[in-house]
Amino acid sequence: MLGLNIAFWVLAIVVIAAALAVVLFRDVFRAALSMVLCFLAVAGIYITLSADFLAAVQVLIYVGAISVLIILAIMLTREVQRGSPSNRLRIPAFIVALLFLVGVGFAMLSTPWQVSVAPPLEPTTPALAGLLFSEGGFILPVEIAPVLLLATILGAIVLVREK
Amino acid sequence: MTIGLEHYLILSTVLFSIGLYGALAKRNAVVILMSIELMLNAVNIAMVAFSRYIVPLLLTGQVFVIFIMVVAAAEVAVGLAIIMAIYRHRETIDATKIDLMKW
């Protein structure tokens, strides 16, 4: 239990610090690299929540695919020299984010959550597979997801294609 | 003090606020997209925490996270394609200068 506590605090600090670095770094490429670090630490957070399958999926999709796409886009747009400056709405945006943090944080802390004492399911992969592919589970969204991905691929190709 | 549901929810809220600030305050369109990814990750943390602490045997929150990841991947692909198309036409991805459809 103590190890879990230490792991949570270390990972939480890494997540917050890396996310702040994404927003505050002037260099776009460094911001992208710290975003990769943030995603990795979020995968660790999933492990402390005993969601092992999701941790693997997080590493595969976010650290593997999405960050590569974003770094590729940064390299292709040659906007690196200009950095990532803020626009004129910096102060209002900060106030909005702070208000959101205080409001939602207060709501989260003051709600009496009905925490269950049952131990978590481990490993989660067979249970998730049963839930996703069995009848009465989530089979319809699973079948819709490939259609969405196909439409995405076609749309991306059409958008980027040279005329 | 043991780690409970509230710790994860507060972590998720802080991460979402950072992403919200980045999405509102940045000029570079790629950085805005990265901030949106941060917000989606914050929501995922909250989902997994609810799934772990409120209904530990049902895993519904984890299924939702899988679908959020699918939609996030699709969103990033289309978003970057749009940024590429804009960059090819206008030689900039400064979100304050991409105002053709504004007013």
Please report the beta strands in chain B, taking only residues with DSSP state E, as ranges in sequence order.
Answer: none
Six token digits for residue B94: 């400064």
Q: Does B54 touch chain A (CB under 8 A)?
A: yes
Contact across the interface for A66 and B53, Cβ inside 8 Å: no
Q: Does B77 touch chain A (CB under 8 A)?
A: yes
Interatomic CA distance for residues A70 and A85, integer angstroms? 18
Q: In the predicted model, what is the mean pLDDT of chain A?
A: 89
Span B14-70, pLDDT tens digits: 999 999 999 999 888 899 999 999 999 999 999 999 999 998 888 889 999 999 999
Amino acid letter, B10: I
Rounded (10°) angle between helices A28-48 and B29-53: 10
Q: What residues of B are in contact with residue A32 (Cβ under 8 Å)?
A: 30, 34
Span A109-136, pLDDT tens digits: 998 888 888 888 778 888 889 888 988 8
Residue A90 — very low, low, confident or very high, per pLDDT cuts 50/70/90? confident
Residue A80 — very low, low, confident or very high, per pLDDT cuts 50/70/90? low
Cα angle at A150 between A144 and A156, to 5 degrees? 135
User: Best mutation site among B35, B63, B82, B96 for testing chain A: the one with the most A CBs within 10 Å?
Assistant: B63
Instruction: Please give the residue of chain B at the shortest CA–CA distance from A8.
Output: B3
Query: Mean pLDDT: which of A2-6, A28-32, A96-100 is highest?
Result: A96-100
In which element (H, E) is residue B10 found? Answer: helix B5-25
For residue B4, give the nearest of A62, A100, A115 by CB distance: A115
Q: B87, B4, B83: which is closest to B36 by C-alpha?
A: B83
CB A38 within 8 A of CB B42: no
Residues 98-127 of A with CB under 8 A from B: 98, 100-101, 104-105, 108-109, 113-116, 118-121, 124, 127
Contact across the interface for A124 and B62, Cβ inside 8 Å: yes
Give percent of chain A above pLDDT 90: 58
CB A28 within 8 A of CB B30: yes
Six token digits for residue B12: 């998720």
Q: Could you report the predicted ipTM of this complex, rounded to two decimals?
A: 0.91
Query: How far is Cα of residue A106 from the mean position of the Cα atoms in its chain?
Result: 23
Interatomic CA distance for residues B44 and B61, integer angstroms? 9
Residues 23-52 of B with CB under 8 A from A: 24-28, 30-31, 33-35, 37-38, 41, 44-45, 48-49, 51-52
Span A10-21, pLDDT tens digits: 999 999 999 999
Interatomic CA distance for residues B15 and B35, integer angstroms? 10
CB A53 within 8 A of CB B49: no
A61: DSSP letter: I
Interatomic CA distance for residues A3 and B62, integer angstroms? 24
Q: Does B99 touch chain A (CB under 8 A)?
A: no
